[in-house]
A and B are shown apart, each in its own frame.
Chain A
Amino acid sequence: MVGMVGLLEGLVLQSGSAGGGTDSAPFADAIGGLLGFGANMGPGETLIAAFIGAFFIGNLMLAMTGVAGPWAKRKITAAFTDRLAVNRVGPFGLLIIVADAVRLLSKELIVPDGVDRPAWDIAPILMAGSALLGFAVIPMGNGIQLADPETGLVYVFAVSSLASLGLVTAGYASNNKYSLLGGLRSVAQNLAYEIPLVLTAASVVLFAGTLQMSEIVAAQTEPLFAIAGIAIPSWYAFVNPFAFVLFLAANLAEVGRNPFDIPEAPTEIVAGYQTEYSSVYFVLMYLGEFLHIFLGGAIIATLFLGGPAGPVLPGIVWFIIKIWAVFLFTQWARSAVPRVRIDQLIEIGWKGMLVLAFANLVLTAIIVGLIA
């Protein structure tokens, strides 16, 4: 699986490099340097270096979801509800990750009667894969960025939206009415929230004047102002807190966490689109979900929190801290906030968030216009 996604990433990376002349692939270059390929790598050498880079990043993200899914999620929820959670297997219960992985993978893969194959098989792969693809353009600090195309931001939103396709495929192909309801709900929800999400991101683009992820991060390094000798960087979360909050909320809907966990809604439609999935496919669905939360965190970190910037610690560490902070936020919402109803969700999306996102965009345009 990892290898396959790595392959996909490599291919996308290649086409990206071929398309945009000025695009650079700093991480692949660095790996090429380590391997002794020299300054001007040929196509074969670039491919090898890119594969290794993709392998590294893909595994880093999968390892994080591995920690988050079976262990951190339980621990965090337990902290919110006065419980202990896993504490029997290994130190702090950490080995539950291994135990759970073995358990889930060794379960029987039940293929229900009448499912629409191969659509039913493609959906989980699509969901996990689409999230992994997004990480290709995220600058993670210390030069770890697979590709840096000029249209990086557009690319991230484009590939992460592929997940919606996975959701609706899963819902439709499962031959289960709960799945169908879940699939339909997820499409309605993603339509309603993707537009405010992209519009809010566009306001950041107005500030930064570029779609290139590394440039957006670079634009946030200037000090905004200084308090008692400590310079506050011009992270867009500080420059435009309104957009930041809007983006956080829309992101909750995008990753389907309370108050917007409507596509799954365990007490209403059992598990929505993933009702019929078991064993490996369930793991893939689950991985996909957590990868999407982390990808959401990575986008928020890049657009609003200065990317990998931070004092003392290396950039990659800061980057991981930031995306885990966003993860913590989603889990907090999950433990504390009631779920809204589907019609209320659509109403909030189209009548509330969309209007606010447009207002934010216009306001930003005016401010940027005045400053320039």
Chain B
Amino acid sequence: MSLEDPRDTEALEEELVGVTNEGVDYDALEDLLGEHVIGRESHLNAEAFVIRPDEVQEVLFTLRDQAGFDHLSNLSAQEYEDRYESVYHLKKYNDPTQEVTVVVPTTKRDPRSQSAEPVYRTADWHEREAYDLIGIEYDDHPDLRRILLPETWQGHPMGLDYDQDQPQVVSFENHANPLEEDHQDAESDTMFINIGPHHPATHGVLHLKTVLDGEQVADVDPDIGYLHRCEEQMAQSSKYRKEIMPYPDRWDYSSAGILNEWSYARAAEDLADLEVPEYAQVIRTMAAELSRMAGHMLAVGTFALDVYGDFTAIFQYAFRDREKILNLLEDLTGQRLMFNYLRLGGVAWDLPEPREEYFEKLRDFLDELPQTVEEYHSLLSSNEIFQIRCVDTGVLEPDVAKSYGATGPIARGSGIDYDLRRDDPYGYYPELDWDVITEDGSDNYARVLVRLQEVEQSARIIEQCVDLLAEWPEEDREIQSNVPRTLRPEEDAEIYRAVEAAKGELGIYMRSDGTDSPARFKIRSPCFSNLQTLPELSEGEYIPDMVASLGSLDIILGEVDR
């Protein structure tokens, strides 16, 4: 397996192909790939190389090992009139602005393509999803079965010829209980157990097919899709201008909605070439950081719940503090959960009047915050039992994390210095003074520390935003740029853009076909990739540690299943 390949990253660092001061030298990359490249496309975010479907591994290995593209950010699959396409979006953990796209077309008659799983472990789930929804089959894939839809589903619902009205008839034989297989035979000394879909610790409808050896986890296989709501399909049948924006709120519904909205706003604005006024960017930045704090509060609170056991004080404290943030967001957006506040080209409306009063509320909250965080540290991180439960459990080594495409606090808890707010700047972040938090522990404890410190950093950002907004001259308070009533981006324009959401890299891939709604809308969910690391975190550990690791991954099933 590729993970076990000894790689001398130091040596590779010096001779990476295609790295120049002005970004990626795509011609050098094309030379590197040589005759593998059968075509070249220009996407708005990066150049794309078209390759043959049976050379995927060779090309990706070359790009990973010789050009340093160690992050398979996303795989977007789609069907055209004449072909299927798998689009691999590659990035670098060191510098996510260096991107390259690999397009793998396959014929309509036999949509088979080589799997990228040996190169990037994260391709496992992404390709399963492409198979499930689009119908592309991947050779060499270790475990190609449906991931979001039930195993008995007929057809591939995002394919072009799929009949939405086709009834799903499942014969009795096919509906045999897939969980029936048990480990109750004379030879076996393991026990199969279903954790979920209804279980106190799965944070939603997640099903973990677990094999136990005594109290230890011998094997765990997350079964997702219980909350699949066809978000991509819904976006594809909605118009860019206003109809898509409410959906992102429903992905990560841990009140981190503004961050999700921003991912769509950023991708769509770049696709349609829209400007965002600076004033609106400051408001977006402030609202987004409030959302991030609320999301992290929930994450820390529920993690404490998983480790402590009962509904203990910390969970309630975290909810209390999240409530304060929700009040602030409600004043701003008029909503507590499904904000729908961002608009293409700006935000929906200005700060609530009287402005001074709102700033006062924000400042009061920020003044109390250091004390609150201190309280969490004394209740959680300095508790000795908490430490023996969390330190060195759920260990995720940095190179494993990269192979799985882990981002956000999970990656930063493993010492990977990767934060799109700084590395792929957007919004008003580059003008502000704040730090990216990393911890080297790679364990459950490090992830808690990262979240608690990120709350403090968010507070720093908000504080600066409040100061900026308070002094913003009244005549310059432009909240939206001039956006056409109907957006029709150029035909065949393709873009992949990501923002740093509460859980990590939240990306949107869009392809325009010249109409006012996207021809393909693909969501790269950070939770989807992060959850995929669970078997790495928990195999060989005890059940309580698996539960704690799952909690520390901080998944929101709405975002995993979409």
Q: Which A residues lie at the B interface, using CB under 8 A?
A: 77, 80-83, 177-178, 181, 185, 258-259, 261, 265-270, 334-344
Q: Is the CB of B385 within 8 A of A338?
A: yes
Question: Can you list 16 A-B contacts (CB < 8 A)?
Answer: A80-B313, A82-B317, A177-B191, A178-B193, A261-B309, A261-B310, A267-B547, A268-B544, A268-B547, A335-B313, A338-B304, A338-B309, A339-B307, A339-B308, A339-B385, A340-B388
| B:215-235 near A, CB below 8 Å | 215
Of residues 382 through 409 on chain B, the ones whose CB sits less than 8 Å from some CB of chain A are: 383, 385-386, 388-389
Cβ-defined partner of B544 (8 Å) among A82, A83, A336, A341: A341
Q: Quick check: B313 and A181 within 8 Å, CB to CB?
A: no
Contact of B193 among A80, A177, A185 (CB under 8 A): A177
Q: 7 closest A-B pairs (Cβ-Cβ)?
A: A81-B316, A339-B309, A267-B201, A338-B385, A338-B308, A341-B544, A177-B193
> Taking A267-B200, A269-B543 as contacts, is the C-beta distance between A340 and B389 under 8 angstroms?
yes
**Residue numbers in A under 8 Å from B193 (CB-CB):** 177-178
In the complex, what's the smallest C-beta–C-beta distance from A21 to chain B, in angstroms?
49
When distances are taken between beta carbons in the complex, the residues of chain A under 8 Å from B385 are: 259, 337-340
B357-399 vs A, CB cutoff 8 Å, 1 = contact: the mask equals 0000000000000000000000000010110110000000000
**CA A344 to CA B315, docked complex, whole Å:** 24
Closest to A81 in B: B316
Q: Which of B302-355 contact A (CB under 8 A)?
A: 304-313, 315-317, 320
B542 CB–A CB distance under 8 Å: yes
Instruction: Determine if B200 and A270 form an interchain contact, defined as CB atoms under 8 angstroms apart.
Output: yes
Cross-chain contact A337 with B200 (CB below 8 angstroms): no
Most chain B CB atoms below 10 A, which of A177, A185, A335, A341: A341
* Complex interface: chain A residues within 8 A of B559 (CB): none
Interface residues on B, range: 20 to 34
B242 within 8 A of A: no
Minimum CB distance partner of A259 in chain B: B385
Q: Does B108 contact A (CB under 8 A)?
A: no
| B137 contact set on A, CB distance < 8 A | none
CB within 8 A of A341: which of B305, B315, B383, B545? Answer: B545
**What residues of A have a CB within 8 angstroms of the CB of B543 in the complex?**
181, 268-269
Across the interface, which residues of B come within 8 angstroms of A77, CB to CB?
Answer: 310-311
Q: Which residues of A contact B305 (CB under 8 A)?
A: 267
The A-contacting residues of B in range 272-313, CB under 8 angstroms, are 304-313
Q: Roughly how many angstroms separate A342 CA and B542 CA in the complex, as a whole number? A: 8
Check if B389 sits within 8 Å of A341, measured CB to CB: yes
- In the complex, A266 Cα to B388 Cα: how many Å? 20
Nearest to A180 among chain B residues (CB) is: B191
Cα distance, A178 to B547, chains bound together (Å): 14
CB-based nearest B residue for A266:
B200
Residues of A within 8 A of B40 (CB): none
A342-B310 in contact (CB<8A):
no
Q: Evaluate contact between A341 and B542: CB separation under 8 angstroms.
A: yes
* Alpha-carbon gap, A266 to B306, bound state (A): 9
**Closest Cβ–Cβ distance, residue A264 to chain B (whole Å):** 8
Min C-beta distance of B199 to chain A, whole Å: 6
Q: Which of A178, A181, A266 contacts B310 (CB 8 A)?
A: A266
Residues of A within 8 A of B542 (CB): 341-343
CA distance A285 to B199 in the complex (A): 21
